[in-house]
């Protein structure tokens, strides 16, 4: 990579063991590192620290009134996010083994935001699902359209505006609607309050009252 210089220059590369040079071992290593990162994030999310961060996200002022050091937790969350961003950057460099100026463009920095919005903000699996959808969508659009950037942006805009809660929340709502007996609690009070049921229940009482009188 010469960065615009007309003459080629040799740039040193990071040394790597021989078993890591083929693509397949490097791929499995990256999968293992990604699983470790997801496990750490899952533990953090379901810890008291993660619950406090969620409380700050929902209502920052109320969390402060409850005695939470909001600034301290925000700084910790920012540091944790930066650490995982560096972790992901190291994994990317290990996989690509090169760098190019396009990585500095704002669209590359916006991809994680698009992925999170597509998958959903309120679930742990949201960014994972969003990454799969975004990757498949981008590959298909870049192969079939010349102005793929505009088409991809329009499709992402439609997805985000159509489903603000994300894909995971939409699937959860659909499963809840299709689940058998999901509307049973709402039907029971209505059925119990029908006039014919009331007449049927009161019939023995009324006849007994008439006989007694």
Within-domain flag for 78: yes
Q: How far apart are CA 21 and CA 29, in angstroms?
A: 11
Within-domain flag for 108: yes
Is the domain of 69 the same as that of 119? no
Within-domain flag for 203: no
Is the domain of 107 the same as that of 62? no
Residues of the chain where predicted confidence (pLDDT) is lower than 70: 1-24, 181-213
Tally of structural domains, the chain: 2
Within-domain flag for 3: no
Q: Which of 53, 72, 99 lies at the terminal end of a domain, its last residue?
A: 99
pTM: 0.63
Residue ranges making up the domain that contains 85: 16-99
Is the domain of 20 the same as that of 82? yes
User: What is Dmax (Cα atoms) for the chain?
Assistant: 115
pLDDT of residue 13: 55
Q: How far apart are CA 3 and CA 8, in angstroms?
A: 10
Within-domain flag for 206: no
pLDDT of residue 56: 93
DSSP conformational letter for 97:
-
Is the domain of 87 the same as that of 51? yes
Within-domain flag for 193: no
Is the domain of 110 the same as that of 85? no
Q: How far apart are CA 94 and CA 32, in angstroms?
A: 13
pLDDT of residue 207: 44
Is the domain of 149 the same as that of 89? no
Tell me the per-residue pLDDT of 37-46, one tens digit each, with 9 for 90 and over. 999 999 999 9
How far CA 103 is from CA of 16, 23, 100, 150, 193, in Å, comes to 23, 22, 6, 19, 65
């Amino acid at each position: 990579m010469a960065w615009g210089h007309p003459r080629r220059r040799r740039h040193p590369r990071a040394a790597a063991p021989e078993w890591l040079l083929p693509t397949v071992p490097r791929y499995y290593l990256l999968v293992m590192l990604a699983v470790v990162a997801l496990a750490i994030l899952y533990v953090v999310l379901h810890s008291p620290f993660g619950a406090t961060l969620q409380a700050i996200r929902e209502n920052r002022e109320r969390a402060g009134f409850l005695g939470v050091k909001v600034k301290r937790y925000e700084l910790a969350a920012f540091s944790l996010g930066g650490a995982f961003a560096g972790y992901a950057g190291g994994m990317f460099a290990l996989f690509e083994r090169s760098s190019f100026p396009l990585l500095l463009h704002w669209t590359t920095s916006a991809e994680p935001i698009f992925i999170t919005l597509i998958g959903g903000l309120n679930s742990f699996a949201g960014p994972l699902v969003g990454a799969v959808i975004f990757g498949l969508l981008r590959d298909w659009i870049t192969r079939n359209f010349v102005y793929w950037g505009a088409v991809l942006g329009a499709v992402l805009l439609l997805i985000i505006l159509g489903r603000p809660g994300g894909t995971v929340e939409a699937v959860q709502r659909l499963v809840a609607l299709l689940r058998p007996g999901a509307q049973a609690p709402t039907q029971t009070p209505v059925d119990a309050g029908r006039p014919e049921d009331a007449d049927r229940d009161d019939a023995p009482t009324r006849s007994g009252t008439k006989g007694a009188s």
